[in-house]
Structure 1
Amino acid sequence: MMLFCCALTFAQTTVKGKVIDNTGQPLPGANIIVVGTTTGTISDFDGNFTLSVDQEPPFSITVSSVGFESVTQEVTTNPQTLDFTMVEGTSLDEVVISASRTPERVFESPVTIERFGLKQIKNTASAEFYDGLENLKGVDINTNSLTFKSINTRGFATFANTRFVQLVDGMDNAAPTLNFPLGNLLGMIETDVQSVELLPGASSALYGANAFNGILFMQSKNPFDHDGISGYYKQGITSQEVSGDNNYTDFGIRAAYKFSEKFAAKINFSYLKGTDWGANNTAGKDDRGFVDVNSTRENDPDYDGVNTYGELASINMQTVGNALVELGRIPQEALALIPDINVSRTGYAEADLTNYNAESIKADWGLYFRPWENDFEIQYVGKIGSGTTIYQGSNRYNIKNFFLQQHKLELKNDNFFLRGYITADNAGDSYDMVFTGLNINRQWKDDETWFGEYTGAFVQGTLAGLNADQAHANARVVADTGRLEPGTPGFQNAFNTVTTDSNVLTGSKLRSESKIYHGDANYNFSHLTDFADIQVGGSYRRYSLNSFGAVYTDASGSIDYSETGIYTQVQKNFLEEDRLKVTASLRYDKSELFDSFFSPRISFGYNIGENKNHNVRASFQTGFRNPDTQALYIGLNLGRIVLLGGAPDNPERELRAYPITSPLGQSIIGGSNIQFSGTNAYNNSFTASSAATFSRSLNPADLEIASPSTVEPEQVSSFEVGYRGKLKNVIIDFSAYVNQYQDFISTVDVVAPFYGDVELTQNVPGTNIPLALAALDNEEFQAYRTYTNTDADVNAYGAAIGITTKVLNGFDLGMNYTYAKLDFDREANPDFQTNFNTPEHKVKASFGKTNLFKDFGFNVAWRWSDTYVWEATFASGVVPAFHVIDAQINYRVKSLKSTFKAGVSNLLQDEYFTAVGTGLVGSQYYVSWTINNL
């Protein structure tokens, strides 16, 4: 035993030293690696390191750090002290992986790519690193709520952003029920982030179906390379005119330990609590969902407020009058006093239906095993996230105690990976606030009684000499007498009953326990062949939707379907000094619901100049988007309209019973109820806009047959050119693109009559009046928002340029500009929503210095957004131009291995919004303490 220990002691070499930057400041978190092995360590907060190696000199060690040029020195004695001075590189020298699934410099990337590294994360002026991504060029972040922000690039943004993929350590963190990520709910805590890369534009050739508009990669720190304990604590307030000033708390801890060269583990935990941005837009919406600032409850009997909920219950007064005559409650002659208009019930303000609690709890853990102490690694990673936030989709939702979990097993080395993971969600106590207001009203008084009282009171008021406005106001007072008031026990009891009931006719609770099973693999043959770098890979995904009929047409059981894809990529350098780099990719995909197809990509990059410091590139790439889970299988009754997915087998699954009140309708169908299928939306329907025109003109020539097709995959062809280079001390990154879409997926609003055909060949018996027109006149129809494709030309184009430099002896200055334009004939396609939702012009700038003086730094970020039209199922309207300034100062205390920061988001306190219907974004003030974040 003694001889064995002596042999071990003799074989071990100890290297100590310090890593500093070219200004003499210590460089924490630098990687020190023995060349040709995975043995290494990182520098501590003061830049010091100690490395013990089971190897005798001579050997070499390399020191690297993000944003600096790597340095290699030889170890010749035991022990030995080596100091390293790192020279700061440029953003073009940083290494990225996502553009080609292989390490390469940003400078040589075949397509546009943005990188948000450790330096940018530490210096961001935003309250959270995730929010700091908004300062990248070409990036839009739409603020849904305080803790839920949606990232998008190149247009077509909604909060249900199914065109953009977000990967965390290779796992898609989209919630299976929603089919898109809930911001950073299942993301990473700040102290565990290694790097963030973002690919704008189509990326399907390598990453599959949903990488259509872009893809975000977040990579965490490996405990073999980054061990130790680190954490942060943030405290501050959010300030908004509607919600006032409220406390904000955010803290997290990371613990990682390398037990040996074979085994390491880590665990992360974070908790955030605050108050969400309150929404109180009281303007009304017209029948197309556009905000009408002139519509108020006082002047519009059929008022439907943006942020007041309950007005979905609406009916024509003459229909009610006819029913009252049949019941003998009003005389026949009173019908002449009743106007031919709709009236809606009185709604509740959003603040009455939520406490605006914003909360996020995240935890993840990982076990890492290197059985042969080399680059081969086996990982198990688990993640859980739970949160409470506001989500705006077709309605406004209180996402309460939503739970998401992932589990991954991965085998990998430098040349391959094989991973499989499962994502599962649970909607928790989430509920629809629109239906909450609607059904609280119904808990108190049913619609038939309320509308009857309203119409009867209107007639009485008119007979008493009141004008129309006075009669409507009096009728509402009469019908609302005794209404449940917020804050009372009766209201609270009704609220509790409704929000725990998942039947949309009586409740508002969202139920879901859906899952995604995913597996993918990749092998890089570059170490086996000198001809070219060749990669092959593939993926498999299976969806299992289970909303118990609350969201999808799955009341009778889960809906399961799968997608498969394989791809290859060849990359090769040509010409003298390898100045020309050609990358070609091809992917084949097959969904069990649709035909298969191919997605090619080819790019050319050429280095210009004596030192090859200018790169020009051109690429053609294609992308495809399988319809998302909602576009396929949603069957959600929103009151005035039913959202209906367009999977081939879905319309027939959407089957509901509807009341028929007119004598004609009852005689036609042979009863007072009809079982009506969603197939009518696709096979026998009018466009909603033409039906609205007909209701005013009563001219059958105004009607247009809709009968949309079921949904198919969408495709895009993208042409892109770009330039990257350095002119003296100025770095320029420019790109421009043109996107051409085929079979563009969106929604079309249609109206399906309960009886009669839309070709108007079936008449009312004994007359020449078409049955379908009679159904429209009797309001015996169902409105649907159907998912389909358009054959209209949909194109988009844009450009972005970023300029960074150092000025005034070391200050970092950056500016970028983004242009985006939709090419689509809206007038010719009034029923088709593209949801482009992107400003034409955006400008962003940042200014700061990491060491203004010893250990003190600051950063200021400014961004401006042009006016644009927001188009969505909940509400549409104009988003005014806005500009925002974020700022922070920070101070490093080396003795505490800590950084202290004070910052503010929206320094000027100019409240703004990025989508119609959301709360205005106020200001966020915070101070933070980060410990040992290397």
Structure 2
Amino acid sequence: MKMMKTFLLAVALLLGAVQAWAQNGTITGTVTTNNEPLIGASVIVVGSITGSTTDATGKYSISIKPGTYKLRISFIGYETQDHTVTVTAGQTTTLDVAMVEGALVGQEVIISASRRPEKLTEAPATIVTFGAKEISELPSFNVGELLARQKGVDYVRSGVLGVGINVRGFNSAFNPKNLQMNDGRLSTLIATGLPLGALSTVVKEDVERVEIVLGPSSALYGPNAHNGLVNTISKDPRTSQGTTVALGVGNQSVMTARLRHAQVLSKKFAFKLSAEYTEGEEFAYNDTVYFNNTAFPTFTGGAVPARFTAIPELDLDRRFNSLRGEAALYYSITDDSDLILAYGGSNSNNIGVTNAGRNQIKDWQIHYLHLRYVSPRVFAQVYHTISKTDDTYAMNQRTQNYISFRDAGFPEAEARRRAMNEQWFGISPTIGVALNRGALFRDDSRRWNGEVQYNNNFAGFDVVVGTQFQRDIAQSYNTYLLDAKGAIVIDQVGFYAQIDRSLGNGFKATVAARADNHDLYGFNFIPKAAITKTFKSGTARITYGQGISAPTILNLEANIFGGLLLGNGSGYTLSDGTQIPGLKVEKISTFEVGYKGTIGKNLFIDVNAYHNTSRDFLSPALNIATNGRTVTQRGGVPMNQVIPGTPATGAPLVLTYLNFGNVQTYGADLGVTYAFTPQLSAALNYSWFGYSLDKNDPANDGNKDGRVTDLDLPINTPANKASVALNYSSSKWFGSIFTRWVERYNFFSGINVASETIPELGIRENARFGRTFNYGPLGGFVNVDVSAGYRFGKVVTLSGQITNLFNARVYEFVASPIIGRLYSLELKVNIPAIGSKK
């Protein structure tokens, strides 16, 4: 804990420095529209992260050092305004602003691209965003549905509950390459690095906005901001007081109830709390397990041999439910510095798709405790995350285990009891042997995170610097990790910096870099650079950035199905002396050009083109005991000590992960929004993706079968996709018509295959392939969604939505059901705060 104590000491010193800051002046005023207060408008000091938002009366206040500053006032749906003010020590400068409707997009202020506020059009990255207004007009409990409407995002629906996103290729059923955060906090599982998704603690009504950065963001956010970043920002209770109650119903037995309450108690204290309970039933889909009673199936195509039997998953439970909630207490230390203490928790039951089959998620709990200090110059945080489940299991492995006992003549009760941990290899209860083939996944993992960030302007240079600490404590009780001797503890420390400099004539240069050190995969340096040119109507940019996808604890220390699949954190030795190196990080380098801007007052354009070079891919699980060789050691330790019961001559079968490959990918995204009126707008999004794979390069032979094919480097994204939306929102009525087209594409992820017929690879459409069934390519559909709602005054809102209006039988993701039509109806009551004090 020495590193943690050092970090906390640094936070304390920074807090002391803030209290000793020189005497400031104050900028205050009221932001209005049509003589009414505008609540939640952003007021920032250009070139810094100093700023404020307007309260329930439209007022704002900023404490700042004496000097002359440019203030930028913005709010989604209104034209951004810039004003120059002069601040004198100990005095108050008043600036009142009247906002004008009309700028529906492009004028937002975002923070994710540079870790400080900046105008969306001026950010040195491709970034898309949606806010509280769009979220409030979505008649669904699932905010993730709005990700389908964002440019450049690969969106898939895997059921009533499940949605997934990816950016710019290389998706999988187990994808940790897009970093997801909530209020600066990692929203990922400890051992797998996967986004929390359905396990999240966030309630829809508490989301202020979501910002999605397309492309690598590791220079500022660290490992696994590889393809992109999804940053969710919650509401401040001081600018969103009141109580909201939402009740929703839909087909598939969906019911949801949500509550949010926020209140200002005094000038110093405010709090908020939110809660949700949602339940329903997934579309009917029984995934098939192909079982071989004497060995694991190795068949890879063609006619199904008689010894392979197709069996539905044992005890499949399609019901899902989740209980989640958060609470936060805000304390204003000074007029412009806050201390925020937050807690969140969730308990979830559902079906999870993996590269090796499907998991029955049983009472999986997530908890966090988060302390933040926020001021104009200093941001500091420390938080603790807990992940816990005792009864989650792999449905395919449990089914195989159960059938092995049942077919050998064991009693039903014994077959079920032993199926969670063992598989029987034999022909009767007395002739055969039981081997450890555990299907149970227990998790009792924790993560500690700390961060200190400082920003300032020095001689015309805007500087952001920070340091982060992370300690992962993964514990599976030897059910899916090599942790029989105790929890796996891994530390990593990162240092990052970004410098912006105006070059005159609208040009700005940005450079950023990050240095990371990890206990297992060592040191990495990650640079980023950009040049932007701002015109009157928009900004052009050229960007270079790197990203890394770090091996997860699961990649490094897996122990799945009784040691059949092992992590590769320390390398292997084969019986002929061959050395298999331990994993290192996967890397991507990206060049990107783009333009964001408006034409006139009504048309907004965002276009980009990019080229990626990716290397050292993390492979799927591969058998390294080939050509008669056995695996004798893992990291210098004999295999019979790693997995008890392994023959002294070595393990004849070990599945693990390797690094391999080098591939060029490229593409372009186009987004166009046109505002017919302040209430009515249309949006068009289009994305194209391509790649170049050298099939003569043996380094690209990921599965080590002696040839390079599409199975080695699965791209797993459509070459073309597009969407068109028509959106309407007035004081009373709101609604949308959204149409999404996704081109057919092949998808390969572990045992999951969704592909057209490829004879040379033994793949046939609508036939079994290996251990799963191939239903054919993903995509190849057009979906139409419609929604409408009406506000009865300022208190009651009624809205409804039909997803997949024409009931297209859509197969969007592997190991998932056909997605049919979904209905939802939502009643929302907003009760303003009464008697609150400011």
| Aligned residue among 564, 568, 589 for 1:717 | 589
Q: Tell me, yes or no, if the aligned pair for 1:68 and 1:86 is still in contact at 8 Å.
A: yes
Q: Which runs of 5+ in 1 are unaligned?
A: 1-14, 44-48, 54-60, 75-79, 238-245, 281-306, 318-339, 450-482, 485-489, 652-678, 685-706, 759-779
Change (3 A) 1:162 1:51: closer
Q: How far apart are residue 41 of structure 1 and its match? A: 2.3
Equivalences for 1:192-203 in 2 at 5 Å? 192-203=206-217
Does the aligned pair in 2 maintain the 1:315–1:343 contact within 8 Å?
no
Confirm whether residue 311 of structure 1 aligns to residue 180 of structure 2: no
Q: Return the TM-score normalized by structure 2.
A: 0.79
Cα distance between partner residues in 2 of 1:235 and 1:757: 56
Distance 1:341 1:842 in 2: 35
Residue 722 (structure 2) aligns with: 843
One-letter amino acid of the counterpart of residue 799, structure 2: K
What is the SS of the residue equivalent to 2:121? Answer: helix
1:98·1:197 contact (CA, 8 Å) conserved in 2? yes
Which sits farther off after the overlay, 154-163 or 714-723? 154-163
Match of 1:571 among 497, 500, 504: 500
Q: 1:10 is matched with which residue?
A: none
Shift of 1:499: 4.6
Q: Distance in 2 between matches of 1:116 and 1:870?
A: 29
Contact 2:40–2:239 under 8 Å retained in 1: no
1:814 correspondence with 2:683:
yes
Asked if 1:647 corresponds to 2:569, the answer is: yes
1:628 alignment partner, one of 529, 535, 552: 552
User: How is 1:175-254 mapped onto 2 (pairs within 5 angstroms)?
Assistant: 175-237=189-251, 246-254=252-260
CA distances 1:774-796 after superposition (whole Å, capped 9, x unpaired): xxxxxx97343321111x32121
Alignment equivalent of 2:272, drawn from 260, 263, 266: 266
| 1:927 maps to which of 796, 815, 825 | 825
- How many angstroms apart in 2 are the aligned matches of 1:316 and 1:607? 60
Question: Whole-Å Cα distance in 2 between the matches of residues 155 and 32 of structure 1?
Answer: 35
Letter in 2 for 1:201: G
- The question of 1:158 aligning with 2:119 is answered no
Matched-pair contact (CA < 8 Å) for 2:277–2:324: yes
Q: 1:52 to 1:917 in 2, by over 3 A?
A: closer
Paired residue for 1:884, among 778, 783, 800? 783
> CA offsets, 1:487-527, max 9 Å, x none?
xxx47x8546645889983652211111222112210012x
What SS does structure 2 have at the residue aligned with 1:191? helix
Partner of 1:67: 77
* Alignment partner, residue 453 of structure 1: none
Hey, what does 1:426 align to over in structure 2? Answer: 388
Contact 1:186 1:383 in 2 (8 A): no
Matching of residue 824 in structure 1 with residue 681 in structure 2? no
| Residue of structure 2 equivalent to 1:122 | 136
Equivalent residues of 1:680, 1:752 under 8 A apart? yes
> Does 2:816 align with 1:918?
yes
**1:138-537 aligned within 5 A:** 138-237=152-251, 246-280=252-286, 307-309=287-289, 311-315=291-295, 344=307, 346-350=309-313, 352-372=314-334, 374-393=335-354, 394-446=356-408, 490=412, 494-495=415-416, 498-499=419-420, 505=436, 508-526=439-457, 529-537=458-466
Contact 1:30 1:63 in 2 (8 A): no
- Preserved CA contact (<8 Å) 2:574 2:625: yes
| 1:788 matched residue in structure 2 | 658
Return the alpha-carbon distance in structure 1 between the equivalents of residues 176 and 106 of structure 2.
30
Deviation sequence 1:583-635 (CA, Å, 0-9, x none): 11111111122342311111001023xxx113211011111222112221112
Q: 2:524 aligned with 1:597, yes or no?
A: yes
Give the superposed CA RMSD: 3.6
- Aligned residues between the structures: 718
- Cα distance in 2 for partners of 1:341, 1:366 equals 57
Cα distance in 2, alignment partners of residues 589 and 933 from structure 1: 47
- Tell me the equivalent position of 2:670: 801
- Match in the other structure for 1:548: 477
How much has 1:65 moved relative to structure 2? 3.3
Q: Secondary structure at the match of 1:157?
A: coil
Summarize the Cα distance change of 1:681–1:312 in structure 2 as closer, same or farther, 3 Å threshold.
farther
In structure 1, the residue matched to 2:16 is: none
The one-letter code sitting in structure 1 at the alignment partner of 2:828 is T
The 3-state SS of whatever aligns with 2:238 is coil
Contact 1:532 1:572 in 2 (8 A): yes
1:606 maps to 2:533: yes
- Tell me, in whole angstroms, the C-alpha distance in 2 between the residues paired with 1:782 and 1:144: 36
Task: Decide whether the 8 Å contact of 1:191 with 1:254 is kept in 2.
Answer: yes
Find the aligned partners of 2:41 and 2:678 in 1 and give their Cα distance. Answer: 28
Go from structure 1 to structure 2 and tell me whether the alpha carbon gap of 1:50 and 1:733 turns closer, same or farther (over 3 Å shift): closer
Greater gyration radius: 1
With 100-109 and 386-395 compared, the bigger mean Cα shift is at 386-395
Cα 1:313–1:914 change in 2 (3 A) is farther
> 1:807-827 CA deviation, whole Å, 9 max, x = no partner?
389521000101112322468
Residues 860, 39 of structure 1: CA spacing in aligned structure 2 closer, same or farther, 3 A cutoff?
A: closer
Q: Greater share of helix residues, 1 or 2? A: 1
User: CA 1:637 to 1:507, structure 2 compared with 1: closer, same or farther past 3 Å?
Assistant: closer
Structure 1 residue 18 displacement after superposition: 10
Q: Secondary structure at the match of 1:427?
A: strand
Give the match's secondary structure for 1:782.
Answer: coil
Quote how far apart the aligned CAs of 1:362 are.
0.8
In the alignment, is the contact (CA less than 8 A) between 1:126 and 1:904 conserved in 2?
no
**2:574–2:629 contact (8 Å) kept in structure 1:** no
Between the aligned partners of 2:596 and 2:82, the Cα distance in structure 1 is: 28
Within the alignment, does 1:746 sit opposite 2:619 as a pair? yes
Gaps of 5+ in 2: 1-27, 63-70, 86-93, 298-302, 424-433, 632-649, 704-711, 756-776, 833-838
Deviations along 1:689-720, one digit per CA (max 9) or x if unpaired, are xxxxxxxxxxxxxxxxxx64321112211100
1:726 to 1:537, Cα distance in 2 relative to 1, 3 A: same
CA distance 1:378–1:681, shift in 2 (3 Å): farther
Call closer, same or farther: CA 1:893–1:29 in 2, change over 3 Å.
farther
Match of 1:474 in 2: none
Question: What amino acid sits opposite 1:114 in the alignment?
Answer: V
- C-alpha contact (below 8 Å) 1:904/1:925 kept by paired residues: yes
- C-alpha distance after superposition, 1:150-194 (max 9, x if no partner): 221111112321111100011111111322113142242121111
Q: Separation in 1 of the partners of 2:501 and 2:751?
A: 49
Alpha-carbon distance between aligned partners in 2 of 1:886 and 1:347, rounded to the nearest angstrom = 36
- Separation of aligned partners in 2, 1:681 and 1:826: 30
| Contact kept? 1:127, 1:904, Cα under 8 Å | no
Deviations 1:884-907 (A, max 9, x none): 111100101115x12210111111
Give the percent of matched residue pairs that are identical in Structure 1 and Structure 2: 25
Structure having the higher strand fraction is 2
Separation in 2, partners of 1:50, 1:169 = 24
> Relative to 1, partners in 2 of residues 1:908 and 1:19: Cα closer, same or farther, differing over 3 Å?
farther
2: CA distance, partners of 1:390 / 1:229:
33
Match of 2:713 among 828, 831, 834: 834
Using the TM superposition, give the Cα deviation of residue 40 of structure 1 relative to its aligned residue in structure 2, in angstroms.
Answer: 5.4
Q: Which residue of 2 aligns with 1:99?
A: 113
Q: Assess if the C-alpha contact under 8 Å between 2:669 and 2:687 holds in 1.
A: yes
Cα distance in 1 for partners of 2:435, 2:442 equals 11
Distance 1:52 1:368 in 2: 17
